[in-house]
Structure 1
Amino acid sequence: MTSDWSFTQGGPEEDPSNEFEVGQQFGNKEEVMLAVKQYSIRRAVEYKIVENDHWRYNARCIQFGPGCNWSILISYRRKQERWEVRRYAGLHTCMQTSMEVRSS
């Protein structure tokens, strides 16, 4: 998997079922940050950055915990010289709650 699949390249990001995948790779950290940002915008959910350094980018839903389990950890792989999704707890469970509230 490469960043060709990413949300920054056009095409797959239009599919609402499109999610990150463990093993998905990005060419640089800017692609990582942009993909997470675009993902959250398209789904109208907010996230916070838990860890952001030279080797890791870790983000969680702002309702993380009982409200939502969404989180992602993307790490730099030195041997491959690429950023890779290492852990992903996908699908915002908080989205169902917010949609139910809006439709009431």
Structure 2
Amino acid sequence: MEFSYRKIVIMAIKDYTICRGVDYWVIDVILFQMYQYALGCNWLIRVSMIRKKYCWIIRRYNGSHTCTRSTIFQDHSKLDSNTITVAIKPLVDIGPSIKVKSVITELLQSMVSKEKVNEKNFRRLESIVRSFAIWFETMCYKESSAVVHFKTMLAYQDDDLVIDIRILYRVFWSYYSWIKAFRYCKLIV
């Protein structure tokens, strides 16, 4: 398949993945590698810019997903306002008499459910970070030569500082014997 603009390629891939309930990560500017959330699906698509034709072409496509879902998830990571706008615009172009209130209520319901899912995930991550500090202290107590330094950052929700919540930023973990032996290592060029 050939596409004239990069934005059209990205929208086509977004539509494809949202409809199948899968997610993907962008590996490079011209290489998209798609992965399914579930284990066992390693779907790959490679899109390249052909300079002679000045178009985007799908170079590699290793078949359909092995794990697909039949419904669209409201909390899909690639479902943003631009994608929703592109989906709604043809409906409005065809029938301008469509009731705006019905579209707004559906969008509000999906946004509320997405916020609930995000809040649930945030609470789960918060408990995991708290357990990290306890785990670090336990390991240092159990193994006296262990050295653990970790840094945290302040947590913000929108532009507001969230009190009593810190975000794990960086962890340095080593043992004293490793640090001592590192002094005698030769430089490798």
- Partner residue in 2 for 1:45: 22
Distance apart, 1:48 and its partner CA: 1.3
TM-score by length of 1: 0.59
Higher relative contact order (CA 8 A, sep 6+): 1
TM-score by length of 2: 0.34
Distance apart, 1:94 and its partner CA: 2.5
The C-alpha deviation readout for 1:44-77, integer Å capped at 9, x for no partner, is 111111112xxx132221459x611211000000
The C-alpha deviation readout for 1:2-60, integer Å capped at 9, x for no partner, is xxxxxxxxxxxxxxxxxxxxxx10001000110000001111111111112xxx13222
Supply the AA of the counterpart residue of 2:23. E
Report percent identity of matched pairs.
36
**Rg larger in 1 or in 2?**
2
1:48/1:59 contact within 8 Å kept: yes
2:36/2:42 contact within 8 Å kept: no
- Partner residue in 1 for 2:60: 87
Please identify runs of 4+ aligned residues in structure 1 that moved more than 2 A: none
For structure 1, which runs of at least 5 residues remain unmatched after alignment?
1-23, 100-104
- Partner residue in 2 for 1:75: 48
Q: Distance in 2 between matches of 1:49 and 1:90?
A: 18
The number of aligned residues is: 70
Q: Distance in 1 between matches of 2:40 and 2:12?
A: 23
Q: Distance in 1 between matches of 2:20 and 2:63?
A: 12
Q: Distance in 2 between matches of 1:45 and 1:63?
A: 6
**Larger proportion of helix:** 2
